[in-house]
């Protein structure tokens, strides 16, 4: 009789813990929905741990997560040159080099891990790929860290940290 009671309490506790974890993951997913304005971008080079802000102190752009599971991203340096059409090849190269995120697709959540399933991207090798991100929410602030990725401008592996404020 005593063993049954201990087993019942243990089972109830375990179910409560699992339910709490699932509820928290659902809360993160629901809280992520909206439009987020980038407020910071830094990257740490994996092999050296060197931290830098290659796109300046005031990047610009947005992440947008829809309730239906879609994601749209556009992020760039604030110092993109203002040139007029027609653009020269040098103009296009300079403009493109200031973009550090431009893609769209769907997303799925697993706890604080969000996977972006990319269908269109400024980086052709990302089309059809999954990009893994780790999110942390605190009020109207969002922090996203990448899994190690290759930085297009250096070819080195980095972990990027992006910070955002909720726009809507």
| Burial environment of residue 147 by CB neighbours within 10 A (0 to 12, 13 to 18, 19 or more) | middle
User: Could you tell me which of 34, 39, 56 has the C-alpha nearest to residue 162?
Assistant: 39
CATH numbers and ranges of domains, the chain: 33-166 (2.40.128.320)
- Residue 71 scores a pLDDT above 60: yes
pLDDT in tens, 94-129: 999 999 999 999 999 999 999 999 999 999 999 999
Confidence of residue 151 (pLDDT cuts 50, 70, 90): confident
Share of the chain above pLDDT 70, in %: 84
Q: Which residues pair with 144 in a beta bridge?
A: 135, 162
- Residue 11 scores a pLDDT above 50: no
- Report in angstroms the alpha-carbon separations of 29 from 33, 51, 112, 166: 7, 29, 8, 14
* SS3 call for 115: strand
- Which conformational region is residue 128 in: left (phi greater than 0), alpha (psi within -120 to 50 degrees), or beta? left
- Residue 10 scores a pLDDT above 90: no
Q: How far apart are CA 134 and CA 162, in angstroms?
A: 10
Read off the pTM. 0.79
- Residue 141 scores a pLDDT above 80: yes
């Amino acid at each position: 009789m005593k063993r049954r009671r201990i087993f019942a309490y243990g089972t109830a506790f375990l179910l409560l813990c699992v339910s709490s974890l699932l509820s928290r993951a659902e809360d993160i997913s629901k809280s992520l929905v909206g439009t987020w304005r980038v407020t910071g971008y830094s990257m740490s080079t994996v092999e050296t741990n060197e931290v830098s802000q290659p796109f300046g102190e005031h990047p610009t752009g947005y992440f947008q997560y829809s309730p239906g599971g879609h994601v749209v991203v556009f992020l760039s340096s604030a110092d993109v040159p203002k040139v007029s059409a027609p653009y020269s090849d040098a103009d296009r190269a300079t403009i493109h080099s200031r973009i550090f995120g431009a893609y769209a697709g769907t997303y799925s959540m697993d706890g604080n891990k969000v996977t972006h399933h990319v269908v269109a991207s400024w980086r052709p090798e990302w089309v059809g790929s999954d990009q893994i991100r780790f999110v942390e929410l605190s009020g109207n602030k969002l922090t996203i860290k990448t899994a190690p990725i290759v930085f297009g401008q250096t070819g080195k592996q980095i972990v990027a940290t992006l910070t955002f404020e909720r726009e809507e």
